[in-house]
Chain A
Amino acid sequence: MSEVLTRTTGEKIFVFVSSLILVGFAALCIYPLLLVIGSSFTEELTLLRNGYHIIPSKISTFAYTVIFSGNSMMLRAYLVSIVVTSLGTVGALLVGIMMAYALSREAFHLRKFFNFYVVFTLLFSAGLVPWYIVCITVWHLKGTLAALILPMMVNGFNIMLLRNFMRTIPSEVIESAQIDGASEFRIAASIIVPMSTPAIATIGLFYAMAYWNDWFLALMYVDNTPRLYPIQYLLRTIVTNAQYVAQNSKTLQGAMGGLSLPAEGVKMAACVLAIGPLVLVYPFVQRYFVQGLRLGAIKG
């Protein structure tokens, strides 16, 4: 629209004011991160007296030392999160691509039934309690790594997105492959998948992010198994119970003497460590998310 008109004064004011608001909002998006990073490097007593600030008046890396000392539960949590995210995303993509392909093929006679089967799961669910009781008593998921991976592996919404994308692939491509004698598996793997990479990349990132950020599964199923805590859940534990850190950090107990635990600093540092990987990865993957959204928005 801006190329079409020359601006009136009223418009110029609008653009100016709204740009300020936009910049303000963007700053607001970054500000809390800076606050937390700065506070994590601030000495504990300063934090308690002066509060959280972006620029530390007294620098100290003690909070980080505390977290990484002892039995390095942070590193363990990173490992758990990485394993869960990798296995989960790969599994979800495999299962999802197979499903989406089958559902996109008109040659599949039971297509309507299974479409309904998948979509219905998005409309109605039994609720938290039956889901939890079934997972505990029937699938014996309590305290297992599988509990962090399997329940989230099939998401109807993502599968429908993939299916819709695959449906846009011209049927002549598939038919010519069939004439050449290709099996459905062959067609899926050698033709459809390579042609669907934008959608697969986007869905893959959706799943990866969901797995990395999830802590609800951890809360429900591995609360009693600290060695299986993913990062987000560890962060939550640290924040809600700063004493947890003291009890689990042997070197700390020796080094502390009579000093109090850097609870505030530890909270901030743990948060920084939880966000860190996302900040590093974000510039590279943001493009795919936006592209995926745009595909979805325009196609409806």
Chain B
Amino acid sequence: MAEEIWHDPLKAENAVHSRPRHYLRSQWPFWVLLAPGVLLLFAFVYLPMFGIVLAFKNFHIDQGIWGSPWVGLENFKFFFRSEYAWRATRNTVFLNALFISTGHLFAIFCAIALFEVRMVWFRRGIQTITYFPSFLSWVTIGVLALSVFSPGQGSLNSLLSSLGFKPVQWYSWPSLWPGILTLLNTWKGAGVLIVIYIAALTSVNHEYYEAAKIDGANFWNLTRHVTLPHLAPTVVVLVLMAVGNIFRGDTQMMLAIVDQQSQLYPTTDVLDFFVYRSLTKSMDVGMPAAVGLYQSCVGFVLVLGANWFARGYQREGALF
């Protein structure tokens, strides 16, 4: 039992702000609880923000961040005048748009189809199996892709040969790769989306279906006028969140799958991948820093915008 008198927090005279010692005493546990996380976030997210100045400097490792000379907007000019600026931006947005649209459309189709199946074991089984690829890292998926698409040993070319077709040099044609990457991305991500959409479908009230059936609706009517509208909020929120990130490429994905195959860069070089290569291969720090800043700023505006839309559509779905 507390040895002190318990002060009723609802009474005005006990308001914490009017009692500084009490304020400290009631609040300090929260500061302690937050401290490790706040410090870690500061160390790895906020402190690097000071490093944004690197975008405006010509960095020399021996002079450090502060000693290196200022060059104003030179790094930005250098990037935007090069052919890479448009190519990387276009690839990033285009590939992401492909990923988002294909991934969600396929998952919605699968979710509706699965929802129609009567046998529960089939539904569970398919969900369990299709969820597995999301567990794998892009490195692993890169090797799996190699096993299928490798020009010499890949199973796809073996299949084509045995059917009488000529084997294709899959890793030589940049134009194929938006498609291949979309395939891989959907393969990895569909399972997760299917689970979410099925969860959304199961939460739809049966009475809607029954009422529509009484009015003489068939399957297609039901799908169009009951199922899809009920799925819409979930879809909108998920897609908006994804669109907010449309300016962020996936370095890990590109590094693991495309890596050094520079012949594929025209269609697969995304901004993040470009930044990584510039930093590690060309020893130039200022320019990739500028590109990163460009990416972060545009991405920031996009995420805010997407979130604002999502919040208007469904309150709790948005991030804040």
Q: Does A193 contact B (CB under 8 A)?
A: no
**Contact digits for A102-145, partner B, Cβ 8 Å, 1 yes 0 no:** 11010111100011011101111111111111110111000000
Docked CA distance A75–B285 (Å): 36
Interface residues of B, count at CB 8 A: 116
Q: Is the CB of A35 within 8 A of B147?
A: yes
Which chain A residues lie closer than 8 Å to B228 at the CB level? none
Q: Is the CB of B48 within 8 A of A134?
A: yes
Q: Does B93 contact A (CB under 8 A)?
A: no
Q: How far is the CB of A16 from chain B (nearest CB, A)?
A: 10
Q: Does B181 contact A (CB under 8 A)?
A: no
Which chain A residues lie closer than 8 Å to B145 at the CB level? 32
Q: Is the interface of A mostly helix, strand, loop or mixed?
A: helix
Q: Is the CB of A128 within 8 A of B292?
A: yes
Report the stretch among B77-85, B97-105, B199-207 that lies at the interface: B199-207
Q: Does B251 contact A (CB under 8 A)?
A: yes
The residues in A between 2 and 49 inclusive whose CB is less than 8 angstroms from any CB of B are 2-5, 7-8, 10-11, 14-15, 18-19, 21-23, 25-26, 28-30, 32-33, 35-36, 39, 47-48
Asked, given contacts A29-B129, A98-B37, whether A108 binds B150 with beta carbons under 8 Å apart, the answer is no
Q: Does A68 contact B (CB under 8 A)?
A: no
Q: How far is the CB of B100 from chain A (nearest CB, A)?
A: 18
Docked CA distance A245–B34 (Å): 46
Q: Is the CB of A267 within 8 A of B143?
A: yes
Q: Is the CB of B237 within 8 A of A22?
A: no
Which chain A residues lie closer than 8 Å to B259 at the CB level? 240
Which chain A residues lie closer than 8 Å to B125 at the CB level? 26
Closest 10 CB pairs of A and B: A127-B292, A130-B51, A18-B113, A184-B29, A213-B137, A300-B316, A99-B37, A129-B289, A181-B2, A32-B144
28 residue pairs from A and B, CB less than 8 Å apart: A2-B115, A4-B209, A14-B116, A18-B110, A25-B110, A48-B152, A51-B152, A51-B157, A99-B37, A103-B34, A109-B23, A114-B34, A125-B45, A126-B52, A126-B296, A130-B52, A133-B65, A184-B30, A213-B135, A215-B137, A236-B256, A239-B139, A270-B143, A290-B127, A290-B131, A297-B196, A300-B314, A300-B315
